[in-house]
């Protein structure tokens, strides 16, 4: 068998496609090589894996503790029928919201470290996932802007970001993610309610040093709002300008999925976004979220 190899993603300044690898068969040395390339590239794309549930969870745990083991992302119910896109389904509202650029779990007390994301069922077209390199974006800023944002802090809330797509969410008691087959139901603890907590609003810096690489990264995106010391209007304008500047080639890559694909991204460095597809076609993806280190990813005091 040929040795595992890494090819830069075409047209992007980050990311790599991994060849000649079976993720479930990596020994410790090979995994360390994979992990080091992950830190360097920010995003790894691996085709033809077709991970089972237990295999994906076990692989994700090699990156650290998990914020949650597995969540189904898409437009399918447990029985295989499609969710309506008529404003009545909370998961579809979350799908709509996720089309804005964001980091995962910045609205939680501890921001996620990363994620393992796999494709089971994909539509004929559309439904790509976009990624944007916030390390390269920070490096590309002019010195005046860097100085302006260096010590700024913003609030992060899922209520705020979902309200922008018309989702008037209420707190969901103990809104964790189920890891059994009931995860796609709308009753009880579901991904659709995850993040709608009644705890303090998180505050995070706009510029943060990556704890493993030492590089500065922007922490912005759809969950961020109301920069401390600015009016809401000034804050929204600056945050949108930063997103618009950051999410431009060659700092972006959109992955068009095929069944069996797996991507692993560094949430401390990259933002990501869902993109539209024909909601009359099924899409089923599986998301394992790697927990952040409370020492480095905890929210700040207001």
List the pLDDT tens digit at each of the 302 positions of the chain.
479 999 999 999 999 999 999 999 999 999 999 999 999 999 999 999 999 999 999 999 999 999 999 999 999 998 999 999 998 888 899 999 999 999 999 999 999 999 999 999 999 999 999 999 999 999 999 999 999 999 999 999 999 999 999 988 888 765 556 544 433 333 333 565 788 888 899 999 999 999 999 999 999 999 999 999 999 999 999 999 999 999 999 999 999 999 999 999 999 999 999 999 999 999 999 999 999 999 999 999 77
Total-model pTM: 0.93
Q: Give domain status of residue 36, yes or no.
A: yes
Number of domains forming the structure of the chain? 1
Q: Residue 136 is part of which domain span?
A: 5-297
CATH of residue 69's domain is 3.60.130.10
Contacts 24+ apart (CB under 8 A), 61-64: 62/26, 62/31, 62/35, 63/35, 63/113, 63/114, 63/116, 63/264, 63/290, 64/113, 64/290, 64/291, 64/293
Residue 259 is assigned to a structural domain of this protein: yes
53 located within any domain: yes
Kind and range of the H or E run holding 97: helix 90-97
Please check whether residue 302 lies inside any domain of the structure.
Answer: no
């Amino acid at each position: 068998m040929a040795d595992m190899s890494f090819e830069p993603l075409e047209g992007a300044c980050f990311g790599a496609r991994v060849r000649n690898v079976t993720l479930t068969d990596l020994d410790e040395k090979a995994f360390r090589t994979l992990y080091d390339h992950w830190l360097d590239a920010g995003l790894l794309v691996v085709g033809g894996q077709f991970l089972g549930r237990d295999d994906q969870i076990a692989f994700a745990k090699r990156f650290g503790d998990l914020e949650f083991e597995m969540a189904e992302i898409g437009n399918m119910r447990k029985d295989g029928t499609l969710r309506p896109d008529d404003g009545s389904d909370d998961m579809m509202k979350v799908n709509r919201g996720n089309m804005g650029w964001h980091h995962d779990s910045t609205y939680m007390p501890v921001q996620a470290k990363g994620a393992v994301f796999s494709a089971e069922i994909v539509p004929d077209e559309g439904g790509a996932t976009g990624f944007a390199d916030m390390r390269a974006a920070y490096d590309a800023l002019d010195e005046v802007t860097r100085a302006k944002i260096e010590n700024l802090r913003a609030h992060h809330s899922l209520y705020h970001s979902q309200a922008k797509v018309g989702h008037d969410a209420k707190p969901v008691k103990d809104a964790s993610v189920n890891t059994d087959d009931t995860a796609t139901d709308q009753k009880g603890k579901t991904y659709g309610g995850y993040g709608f907590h009644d705890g303090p609003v998180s505050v995070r810096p706009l510029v943060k040093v990556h704890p493993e690489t030492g590089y500065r990264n922007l922490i912005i995106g759809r969950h961020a709002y109301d920069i401390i010391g600015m009016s809401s209007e000034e804050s929204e304008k600056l945050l949108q300008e930063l997103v618009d500047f950051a999410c431009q080639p060659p700092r972006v890559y959109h992955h068009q999925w095929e069944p069996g694909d797996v991507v692993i991204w560094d949430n401390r460095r990259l933002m990501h976004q869902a993109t539209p597809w024909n909601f009359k076609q099924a899409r089923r993806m599986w998301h394992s979220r790697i927990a952040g280190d409370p020492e480095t990813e905890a929210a700040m005091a207001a």
